[in-house]
Amino acid sequence: MKKFWGIVLIFLFLGIFLKACIRADIPENCRVKSSVSAEEKTVYPKSPKNVTINGTDYLQSQAPNGIFGGELVISTIGEGPKTFNPCNTKDATSSTMAGLLYDGLVTTNPVTGNVEPLLAKSFEIKENDYIIHLRQGIKWTDGNPITADDVLYTYNEIVFKGLGNPSTMDAMMVEGKLPSLEKIDDYTVKFTTPKPFAPFLRQLSYQIVPKHYFKPYSDRGASVFDAFLNPNTKPETIVSSGAFKLKEYVAAQRVVFERNPNYYKINLENKQLPYLDKLVYLIVGDTNNEILKFEAKEIDALSLKGDNVARYKEKENRSDYKVYNLGADTGTMFLVINLNNRKDKNGKYYVNPGKQRWFRNKDFRSAIDWAIDRKSMVQNIAFGVAEPLYTAESLNSIYLNKNIKGHPADRQKSLEILKNAGFNYKDGILYDNDGHKVEFDLYTNAGNLEREAMGVMIKQDLEELGMKVNFKPIEFNSLVNKITKTNDWDAVILAFTGSPFEPHDGINVWNSMGPLHLFNMRRTNGNEQANYTVYNDDRLTWEKELDEIFEQGALKLTFEERKPIYDRYQEIIAEENPIIYLYSPIRITAIRKKFGNIFPTPLSGLLYNLDEIYIRK
């Protein structure tokens, strides 16, 4: 029997999910409603405007004018960034830090989900052609101009060659072909896709990097490029374009960013943003430390989970912080099972082949799915501030397959499935048809207390089926090494970020050649040191169908055409269970009341507009 830790009445904190207005074309004008406290109404600024001053094309914020100066201190769990190279990030922390340093051609409007210009001043779409007009007069932090040559270099020599993280290259493939890119003039480029390609415009949010700074390293090969901009890089040498530039990195303690005086965004008084002088990330070991630092006023914002929601909400009126309800998480949390045929380079299994037969058995995975008590997780881990999740799309995705209803946990159903699949349950122990006890390892990243709690509950649920589960939280880098290099893992609890507007963003997970196709990898993420064999013909039948689905879905241009295709992919995952989804938290965040220009949205969260946030007097 699981211990009942308490329930927060969910109706007090229910998120307002994305409300989509679906058009008969690519659904980019889908507006979402704010998810803030009922007693107030947030008025969102209009989209930024282009303003040309003395030959420089600035992007003018329409947010109220703020006050320059001060700092915002937030936190990150783990050991800090692994790289500041935006082209080579493979974890959320590194992606966040590098994302501060470099901007893309376009961005997503945080309220409507529309694609809007960023480094680009404007864009035109003519069938397969995407003509991008760059801002003139804007500069890198070293004073050099940002031009079409930087765009050509970023795509032709990094993205299209698969340097660093190849996910973007994979996502841009159309029937096995990449787009072409040509320079029209110093501030105009044209992308041409092999066919009309629905996700392409959003993909142009990939960060543009300075050719004069990056090229000496990319020319020296993948290994040199992968080490470029590692955490030991001197901050003052980094050339970037974002609102903030790196000032200091102290390993396992903090990352400090400072205001970029060359930033191209301005306020309503035509003064260059950002307002803040500094942005500080404190590196905390776990969520408990994060809470302690917030209460000690060492950090200014805190993501609230579980029973902390009720406690902080109750104290809000007497405090210096405000609590915002941001609605259902746009990402997904899941248990992934290793279906790979784990052989070394000599073709010899380095795990018990019987174990691999369990994992590749659809009924075995289905039994696990039926055994996991998601509702108890929601109550006992999230304290009611979450909803069970059964699909590969997040609960606020406009492509969510609402016909997948899920099911309650049912131990007897699980045992029945296992019995029909040839497993035997005797004296509290599960055996396969060869008489072997069913035992395997379950991993997650240490320090994430929510995932650690999930692991404990999954272990309990599966041990009620007679399975012996060795739950092992380990350091994140070690976990990544197991998954991408040694393939020495059985099951892992992880989470992916996601887009509620574009399923194709997940192609690196669902395409069988994708670098995040963890459950049956056909390539080794470009890692020459991987010690296992990759079989290009080792796709399962349903994996082949997934490959076809994501190829077809990207070539359909209307929502009505695409929705049934992506409904089918969710059906496949729910039927085959290579990834078993757990629950979707409702995102609730507290931030000090002293900060202005806070405009929370379900799509982008709370701190997406760091260049506009300021400290009130």
For residues 124 and 132, give the distance between their C-alpha atoms in angstroms, rounded to a whole number: 7
- For residue 573, is pLDDT > 50? yes
Predicted pLDDT of residue 38:
34
**Cα dihedral 224→229→232→234 (10° resolution):** 120
Three-state SS at 261:
coil
| Tokens 């992308």 belong to residue | 191
Predicted pLDDT of residue 14:
25
H/E segment holding residue 553? helix 541-555
Predicted pLDDT of residue 350:
65
Predicted pLDDT of residue 523:
56
Domain residue limits, the chain? 12-97+230-328+587-615, 332-585
Three-state SS at 580:
strand
| Tokens 């795990």 belong to residue | 351
241: left (phi over 0), alpha (psi -120 to 50) or beta: alpha
Tens digit of each residue's pLDDT (9 = 90 or more) over 603-614: 888 999 999 999
Q: Kindly report the average pLDDT of the chain as a whole number.
A: 88
Tens digit of each residue's pLDDT (9 = 90 or more) over 163-172: 998 889 988 9
| Tokens 């070690």 belong to residue | 478
| Range in 37-51, 132-146, 185-199, 504-518 the model is least confident about | 37-51
* 221 beta partners: none
* 229, two tokens: 């901009």
Architecture per CATH, domain 332-585, reads as Roll (3.10)
23 — pLDDT class (breaks 50, 70, 90):
very low
Architecture per CATH, domain 12-97+230-328+587-615, reads as 3-Layer(aba) Sandwich (3.40)
Contacts by 161-167, CB closer than 8 A, 24 or more apart: 162/526, 163/87, 163/88, 163/218, 163/222, 163/225, 164/85, 164/87, 164/88, 164/89, 164/225, 164/226, 165/87, 165/88, 165/89, 165/90, 165/515, 166/515, 166/525, 166/526, 167/508, 167/514, 167/515, 167/516
For residues 268 and 275, give the distance between their C-alpha atoms in angstroms, rounded to a whole number: 12
- For residue 211, is pLDDT > 80? yes
Predicted pLDDT of residue 344:
63
For residues 569 and 399, give the distance between their C-alpha atoms in angstroms, rounded to a whole number: 11
- For residue 39, is pLDDT > 60? no
